[in-house]
Structure 1
Amino acid sequence: MNVTLRPESGGDHEFLRGLFGAVRLRELPGLPQPMLQALLDMQFVAQRHSYLQDFPGARCDIVECEGAAVGRMVVAQSGGALWLVDIALLPACCGRGIGSVLLRGLQREACGAGLPLRLHVALNNRAGTLYRRLGFKETGMSGMHRTMEWENNDD
């Protein structure tokens, strides 16, 4: 499986908007289509603004598998750590090992920089299982999210 990253560009807006909707759709069942679309549009814009404000130097990449865009990843260095700010894959691409490839790459990057790798994950997000399998440990809770950290201990 050939998983690559490329920097996000202005031409990716429609893909990113569709990805956001595909991921969030599961969280909003039963809303009428016009209301759902308006809500998703507002949340998409709010998330992008929040990331830019909270992580101004973040690296925003498009995830490609076999040459096709399948997701995005936002990574920042902040507070003495490498942060996985966000990772999102099209639902049809989940469970194929793409997330594991990306996370192992971030672990190598954190190792090379001598930094821990941190992230926040929603309590109900199935990705928490993947993070634990790859050696992340829970370090705290805040509202509906847990903070997790991976440190290179040569395990």
Structure 2
Amino acid sequence: MTVRPECAMDLPALRTLFSAQRWAEFAMLPWDDAAKQVLLDQQFDAQQRHYTSAYAHRQFLVLVDRERLAGRLYLGDSAAGDLCVLDILLSPDHRNRGVGTALLAAVQDQAATAGRRVLLEVDKGNPAAELYRRLGFTAVGDTDTSWRMAWSAAATQG
């Protein structure tokens, strides 16, 4: 598996991956599949625009496994200098195989080397929250639906 910068040619596969991940959220809507897909496409486009405009310093990375797109990792710099995990998205056949753990460990190494914290936000119902806790992330804020979590090398050493 390789990690490389995202390019325009990746967008169709990323759109498909995004739709596959989010499809279940739309299953209950009383719309036909075509209407649901239009909404998913609009959400994908809005998310891409937001990440691009909100994070001047960002890394949009894709994971490639045997020449097929296997996921994405989006990172951005916060105004306070933290390294923000904006999005981790893995194809279903790359989940629960240590790929997410390896990606986050690399992000933690990058942040530790630079003396930075890692921030992320996760929905409370997302099983990935347990992975983040295992990797040393702690809740630093929450809403009704999500946790804001942080990790720093100093906190894990102290």
TM-score (norm 1): 0.92
Residue 59 of structure 1 aligns to a residue whose secondary structure is strand
Match of 2:16 in 1: 18
Report the CA distance between 1:81 and its aligned residue.
Answer: 0.7
Q: Count residues in correspondence.
A: 153
Match of 2:27 in 1: 29
Deviations 1:73-102 (A, max 9, x none): 111122221111111011221101100000
Match of 2:38 in 1: 38
Match of 2:47 in 1: 47
Report the CA distance between 1:66 and its aligned residue.
Answer: 4.8
Report the CA distance between 1:54 and its aligned residue.
Answer: 1.4
Match of 1:88 in 2: 89
Residue 119 of structure 1 aligns to a residue whose secondary structure is strand
Percent identical among aligned pairs is 35
Deviations 1:20-46 (A, max 9, x none): 101111211144211111111111111
Choose between structure 1 and 2 for higher RCO, CA contacts under 8 A separated by at least 6 residues. Answer: 1
In 2, the alpha carbon distance for the partners of 1:107 and 1:5 equals 16
Structure 2 residue identity aligned to 1:15: A
Structure 2 residue identity aligned to 1:94: R
Report the CA distance between 1:14 and its aligned residue.
Answer: 0.8
Report the CA distance between 1:144 and its aligned residue.
Answer: 2.0
Structure 1 residue identity aligned to 2:126: N
In 1, the alpha carbon distance for the partners of 2:92 and 2:27 equals 16
Report the CA distance between 1:63 and its aligned residue.
Answer: 1.2
Change in Cα spacing, 1:67 to 1:112, as seen in structure 2 (3 Å) is: farther
In 1, the alpha carbon distance for the partners of 2:114 and 2:13 equals 31
Deviations 1:38-74 (A, max 9, x none): 1111111111111112112211011123553200011
Residue 63 of structure 2 aligns to a residue whose secondary structure is strand
Change in Cα spacing, 1:143 to 1:58, as seen in structure 2 (3 Å) is: farther
The alignment's C-alpha RMSD in Å is 1.4
Note the 1:1-155 alignment, pairs <5 A.
3-30=1-28, 31-78=31-78, 79-153=80-154, 155=157
TM-score (norm 2): 0.90
Q: Which runs of 5+ in 2 are unaligned?
A: none
In 2, the alpha carbon distance for the partners of 1:134 and 1:74 equals 18
